[in-house]
Structure 1
């Protein structure tokens, strides 16, 4: 890819949500432990096995990069957990988990910075802003509202929005259609390789990895044009490319 050529064309930023705008481990490990208890129908003895199956290492308190907990969507998580605790119908557990996440995530998400200030700065520089998550669209919408970002985020979608799931390119294309950009004018920013692979599949002009999620630098570097510590560094990065 010609990075120099793509740098000059960036006019929009499509963010992943969890691990990118919000610190993944501080937000999602406690929520997922409670969700696992839901999947176990209250049997706490099943929770450690469910969490481990999803990619959580209790010894380190970390979630593995690329695991179902890190990168999957709710139906994938439900099917995985049903292998260990077959106590629900898959559709029922998916619906129950989606409702639980949409209720819990907005009020318990831990932003990596003052998102209103950061997104306002990006919008003020002329960039279009969207969010694409493998969480549900209801959870994304509720979180955007809870943090007062509705006037700053022009587009949002989830795994259930009809645009496909990551790493398919549909979410990027939907953002482009919504704000009138071409994929080559968009920077995709995420904490997992599936975010960056989505950007590649869509023909995004820039792919930026962040380290506030489940991935280390070496996990992201092969898939990214740049890897930064967090989105706090993004305005300077983009400003240096313009």
Structure 2
């Protein structure tokens, strides 16, 4: 943990997770997907494919994706628009549909940070309400939860196309609260990018937890997060610490 926990007298009763870079390891899961997205958008032009990857924030040689970049933080519509602005000849609406379909397929070879079924079961056993809020589309989120066996332990799922708005606006977190009957101050927002932390701040989340399993670093995340942990396997320890702080 890189910071002191905020003083909050309200116990955490719910967790809203980002998906990519938070539940899934970003580079292993999304490196191949980003390359395929650029290939689709380039319409067979190899030089343009490289240009689009760079414009999206991914180093085509190392495969590393820059924190808070278009590919790290954008949804399919935003990525499509960005690719078109960077030279893609594909119609933006057609490209958005193709990218959404690609992102649904990507669940088949995603790499989880840990055994997500076990983690969600343990968190649920603590009495927590659990949700996922992602810039991916809702179908892709559900496919991921189904593949890794934790769909039944999720109380709320929101993608950019679910009608709650997009990050970093507060709509997804507010929708989670309305669905499960909590106040934002009772919710921990967990994510790997600043748009997750900013969504938490905009909604008034009780705790903003940044993880390092995605594209963000301690340097890029510390200012917007309340706490930075290595990955979601540290959540149970963190929750025990917050429980002690609220009862002290």
Secondary structure of the residue that 1:239 maps to in structure 2? Answer: helix
Residue 142 (structure 1) shift? 1.3
Asked if the contact 2:116/2:149 (under 8 Å) is kept, the reply is: no
1:30-41 to 2 correspondence within 5 Å?
Answer: 30-41=32-43
SS of the residue 1:100 aligns to: helix
The corresponding residue for 1:3 is 6
Deviation readout 1:32-85 (Å, 9 max, x if unpaired)? 101111111233332111111000123443111110001111111101111233
User: Where in structure 2 are there 5+ consecutive unaligned residues?
Assistant: 244-248
Name the structure 1 match of 2:246: none
Which residue is equivalent to 2:201?
A: 200
Find the aligned partners of 1:60 and 1:91 in 2 and give their Cα distance: 30
Count of residues in Structure 1 that have an aligned counterpart in Structure 2 = 239
Distance 2:186 2:58 in 1: 36
In the alignment, the residues of structure 1 paired with residue 169 and residue 79 of structure 2 have an alpha-carbon distance, to the nearest angstrom, of 18
Which residue in the other structure is 1:135 paired with?
A: 136
* 218-227 vs 78-87, which moves further: 78-87
- Find the counterpart in structure 2 of residue 107 from structure 1: 108
1:183 deviation in Å? 0.5
TM-score by length of 1: 0.95
Between the aligned partners of 2:159 and 2:19, the Cα distance in structure 1 is 10
TM-score, normalised by the number of residues in structure 2:
0.93
